[in-house]
């Protein structure tokens, strides 16, 4: 009772502006106290992941790359290129803005700098071309999160990491520490001196991290072990089990990817959530949503009779030449990750180093003097996110320990029977969450609870991730606390209420896209199956 009161008090403080990482930390500590666990567990559950999981490395690297690009002349060059490439289409400059915003958001890992970097540039130009003021405002404000589903967006990375942990917790209970975990535990020679709690966590993490971690730890390890690398063991076993169960004729007809995709439905261990898979999965749904907004933009453009630029091959060539050094960046990510040459974390390192060399040494857009400030600015954001992540990991640990997802599932099992009903209710729930919470806290608090329940309904965790992120993309621009609205209000010097109205048509279109993405799982899963990325 006292604990419940204290937790209520913490929520109140949260509304008063207590930093989110402290809110989550306080809730976790109170939870530990309540369930009679040692508060020392707080750090056992989160320091190790941050210190050893390679996913966390991607966050500072991509954010740094984004900030460097935002501070350089890249926004100008990207707008020029977009104009030369798509300015001739009906909708003219608005289409340019849409494409540039999506591209830039994806580049910068959706860290919220898009509106600041491109908004000031595009807003006056849109008005000059005769677009209605409200339309331009809405387009640019919602544009700040438009590229959320394209790699390397930061929420995509964070989702993969948290959902991986949550699924680990869920499968651990179901498999009851089966042969997979026993094998992993036996091959950790350097870690014998640790407490049982930490060891269990280590094993959990090793499995999530998959072969990358294993390769680094044991460079000369036996090939057999690195073959069945930790992260895929559940996957592989489920696959084998499914193949054994299925008659051979059907087996050859459906192929392996199908078997994996069917595994969750048949109650087997589900497909693995990894950053790489989410990166691949987001492409089609993201493009779909972008196309819908594009059509609306064209409609407005035609109705307003805005001027279009004539397609000029020479200007396009010049624009391409001016961005010649930046154009390979998406290629690095797309070819590298989609082609399976390297991981998202490798891509982060390559992109960050590349952007640094290009913007500072080749274009010389950024003076050496400014580097300290840019590094600091980007890392203040990263520090804030990492601290929230760590607190949330501790809270997740508590939720899973208290079997909160199972209890919630038991509560709704009788009233919600079909996965479609579940997804519908989930969408409603997430939209409310998106309005009230920022994207990172929403992922961190809600995903661990939702993922195990969704698995019970046989929903593919990758599909769930895309649905989840699409919801939050809408939430980014939804009143009252969508972050885009406040950044937009600052960038355009307009009252927030005006932005509320301006974003409404765009939110309506996003909702249509959301419904399609929710009830058409193949849109998200087709590319994953086709490319076979793990």
Residues between 412 and 471 that touch another protein (CB under 8 A): 436-441
**Contact of 439 with 472, CB cutoff 8 Å:** yes
- To the nearest whole angstrom, how small is the minimum distance from the Cβ of residue 239 to another protein? 28
CA-CA distances (angstroms) from residue 196 to 185, 192, 199, 200?
11, 10, 5, 6
Among 149, 161, 388, 466, interactor with another protein by CB under 8 A:
388
Residue 520 found at the interface with another protein (CB under 8 A): no
Closer to another protein by CB, 379 or 516: give it. 379
Residue 396 found at the interface with another protein (CB under 8 A): no
- To the nearest whole angstrom, how small is the minimum distance from the Cβ of residue 212 to another protein? 9
Residues between 485 and 514 that touch another protein (CB under 8 A): 486
Residues between 162 and 201 that touch another protein (CB under 8 A): 190-191, 193-195
CA-CA distances (angstroms) from residue 73 to 248, 323, 359, 446?
58, 10, 8, 38
Measured in whole angstroms, how far is the alpha carbon of residue 429 from the centre of its chain? 19
* Phi, psi of 205, deg, nearest 5: -65, -40
* Phi, psi of 264, deg, nearest 5: -60, -40
Residue 16 found at the interface with another protein (CB under 8 A): yes
Closer to another protein by CB, 127 or 481: give it. 481
Residue 228 found at the interface with another protein (CB under 8 A): no
Among 217, 225, 318, 456, interactor with another protein by CB under 8 A:
217
Stretch that binds another protein, among 138-146, 242-250, 383-391, 509-517 (CB under 8 A): 383-391
**Contact of 290 with 146, CB cutoff 8 Å:** yes
How far apart, in whole angstroms, are the C-alpha atoms of residue 131 and residue 43?
53
Closer to another protein by CB, 257 or 479: give it. 479
Closer to another protein by CB, 194 or 534: give it. 194
Closer to another protein by CB, 94 or 347: give it. 347
Residue 230 found at the interface with another protein (CB under 8 A): no
Measured in whole angstroms, how far is the alpha carbon of residue 350 from the centre of its chain? 20
- To the nearest whole angstrom, how small is the minimum distance from the Cβ of residue 38 to another protein? 9
Closer to another protein by CB, 330 or 384: give it. 384
∠ CA 522-526-532 to the nearest 5 degrees?
A: 145
Q: Within 192-274, where are the H helices?
A: 196-209, 211-217, 223-227, 233-245, 248-254, 256-262
- To the nearest whole angstrom, how small is the minimum distance from the Cβ of residue 125 to another protein? 26
Residue 147 found at the interface with another protein (CB under 8 A): no
Residues between 357 and 376 that touch another protein (CB under 8 A): 371-373, 375-376
**Contact of 70 with 112, CB cutoff 8 Å:** no
Among 387, 445, 450, 513, interactor with another protein by CB under 8 A:
387
Sign of CA dihedral 514, 520, 523, 525: positive
- To the nearest whole angstrom, how small is the minimum distance from the Cβ of residue 52 to another protein? 6
CA-CA distances (angstroms) from residue 382 to 59, 74, 100?
7, 22, 24
How far apart, in whole angstroms, are the C-alpha atoms of residue 28 and residue 397?
9
DSSP3 helix / strand / coil % (the chain, rounded to 5): 75, 0, 25
Closer to another protein by CB, 269 or 382: give it. 382
Residues 264-293 as x/- pattern, contact with another protein by CB under 8 A:
------------------------------
Residues 305-344 as x/- pattern, contact with another protein by CB under 8 A:
-------------------------------------x--
Please state, as a whole number, how many other Cβ atoms lie within 10 Å of the Cβ of residue 364.
Answer: 12
Closer to another protein by CB, 17 or 223: give it. 17
Helix, strand or coil for residue 358?
helix
Residue 380 found at the interface with another protein (CB under 8 A): yes
How far apart, in whole angstroms, are the C-alpha atoms of residue 409 and residue 389?
25
Residues 58-87 as x/- pattern, contact with another protein by CB under 8 A:
-xxx--x-----------------------
**What number of chain residues touch another protein (CB under 8 A)?**
76
Helices and strands in the chain, H and E counts:
30, 0
Closer to another protein by CB, 121 or 350: give it. 350
Residue 247 found at the interface with another protein (CB under 8 A): no
For residue 139, give the H/E element and its range: helix 133-143
Residue 6 found at the interface with another protein (CB under 8 A): no
CA-CA distances (angstroms) from residue 392 to 26, 45, 443, 477, 509?
10, 10, 9, 23, 32
Residues 85-114 as x/- pattern, contact with another protein by CB under 8 A:
---------------------------x--
């Amino acid at each position: 009772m006292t604990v419940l009161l204290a937790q209520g008090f913490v929520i109140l403080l949260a509304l008063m502006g207590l930093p989110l990482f402290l809110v989550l930390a306080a809730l976790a500590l109170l939870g530990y106290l309540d369930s009679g666990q040692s508060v020392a567990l707080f750090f056992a559950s989160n320091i190790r992941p941050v210190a050893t999981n390679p996913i966390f490395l991607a966050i500072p690297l991509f954010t740094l790359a984004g900030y460097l690009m935002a501070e350089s002349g890249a926004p100008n060059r990207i707008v020029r290129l977009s104009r030369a490439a798509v300015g001739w289409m009906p909708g003219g400059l608005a289409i340019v803005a849409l494409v540039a915003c999506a591209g830039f958001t994806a580049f910068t890992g959706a860290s919220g700098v898009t509106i600041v970097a491109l908004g000031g540039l595009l807003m006056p130009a849109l008005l000059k071309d005769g677009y209605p003021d409200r339309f331009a405002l809405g387009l640019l404000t919602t544009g700040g999160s438009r590229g959320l589903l394209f790699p390397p967006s930061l929420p995509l990375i964070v989702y993969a990491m948290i959902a991986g942990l949550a699924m680990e917790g869920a499968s651990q209970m179901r498999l009851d520490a089966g042969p997979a975990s026993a094998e992993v535990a036996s091959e950790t020679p350097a870690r014998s001196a640790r407490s049982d709690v930490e060891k269990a966590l280590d094993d959990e993490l090793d499995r999530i991290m998959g072969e990358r971690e294993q390769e680094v730890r044991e460079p000369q390890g036996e090939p057999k072990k690195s073959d069945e690398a930790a992260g895929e063991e559940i996957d592989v076993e489920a696959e084998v089990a499914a193949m054994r169960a299925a008659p051979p004729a059907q087996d050859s007809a459906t192929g392996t990817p199908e078997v994996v995709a069917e595994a969750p439905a048949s109650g087997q261990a589900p497909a693995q959530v990894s950053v790489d898979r989410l990166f691949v999965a987001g492409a089609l749904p993201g493009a779909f949503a972008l196309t819908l907004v594009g059509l609306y933009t064209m409609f407005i453009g035609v109705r307003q009779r805005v001027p279009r630029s004539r397609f000029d091959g020479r200007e396009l060539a010049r624009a391409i030449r001016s961005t010649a050094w930046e154009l390979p960046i998406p290629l690095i990510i797309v070819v590298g990750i989609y082609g399976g040459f390297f991981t998202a974390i490798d891509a982060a390192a390559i992109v960050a180093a590349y952007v640094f060399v290009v913007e500072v040494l080749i274009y010389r857009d950024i003076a050496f003097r400014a580097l300290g400030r840019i590094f600091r600015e980007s890392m203040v954001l990263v520090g804030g996110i990492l601290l929230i992540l760590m607190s949330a990991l501790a809270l997740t640990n508590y939720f899973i320990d208290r079997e909160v997802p199972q209890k919630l599932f038991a509560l709704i099992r009788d009233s919600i029977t079909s996965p479609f009903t579940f997804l519908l209710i989930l969408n409603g729930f997430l939209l409310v969450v998106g309005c009230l919470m920022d994207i990172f806290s929403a992922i961190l608090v809600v995903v661990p609870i939702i993922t195990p329940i969704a698995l019970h309904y046989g929903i593919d965790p990758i599909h769930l991730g895309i649905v989840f992120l699409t919801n939050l993309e809408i939430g980014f621009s939804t009143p009252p606390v969508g972050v885009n609205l406040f950044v937009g209000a600052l960038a355009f010097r307009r009252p927030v209420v005006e932005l509320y109205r301006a974003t409404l048509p765009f939110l309506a279109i996003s909702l249509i896209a959301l419904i399609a993405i929710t009830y058409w799982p193949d849109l998200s899963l087709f590319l994953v199956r086709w490319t076979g990325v793990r």
